[in-house]
Amino acid sequence: MKLNYGCGETRLVGFVNIDIEESVKPDLVLDLRKQPFPYEANTVDIIQCIHNLEHIEQKYWVQIFGEFWRVLKPEGEFRLAYPEFEKISHNFLENHLGLRDFWRATLYGRQLYPGDYHVVPMVTAEVEDYLEGCGFHDIKSCPEPTQDYNTFILAKKAAAPRTREDVIRDEIFIK
SS3 string, 35-84, reads CCCCCCCCCEEEEEEECCHHHCCHHHHHHHHHHHHHHEEEEEEEEEEEEC
Domain boundaries, the chain: 2-85+115-174
Query: Which residues on neighbouring strands pair with residue 28, listed in sequence order?
Result: 18
Largest CA distance in the chain: 50
97-144 pLDDT, tens per residue? Answer: 999 999 999 999 888 877 788 999 999 999 999 999 999 999 999 999
d(CA 12, CA 30) in angstroms, rounded, equals: 17
Q: Judge contact between 78 and 128, C-beta under 8 A.
A: no
Tell me if 79 sits within 8 A of 49, measured CB to CB.
yes
Judging by beta carbons within 10 Å of its beta carbon (0-12, 13-18, 19+), is residue 47 exposed, middle or buried? buried
The predicted structure's pLDDT at residue 115: 77
> Checking DSSP bridges between strand 16-19 and strand 28-29, what pairing results, if any?
parallel
Helix (H, G, I), strand (E, B) or coil at 137: strand
DSSP assigned state of 135: T
Asked if 74 and 42 touch (Cβ cutoff 8 Å), the reply is yes
Read off the pLDDT band of 171 (50, 70, 90).
low
30: alpha, beta or left, given left = phi > 0 and alpha = psi -120 to 50?
beta
From CA 113, how far away is CA 17, in angstroms rounded?
A: 19
pLDDT > 90? residue 172: no
Q: Tens digits of per-residue pLDDT, 69-99?
A: 999 999 999 999 999 999 999 999 999 999 9
pLDDT at position 51, please? 93
Q: Could you tell me which residue, 123 or 160, shows the higher pLDDT?
A: 123
Topology of the domain covering 2-85+115-174: Rossmann fold (3.40.50)
Q: Provide the whole-model pTM.
A: 0.86
How much is the average pLDDT of 35-48? 96
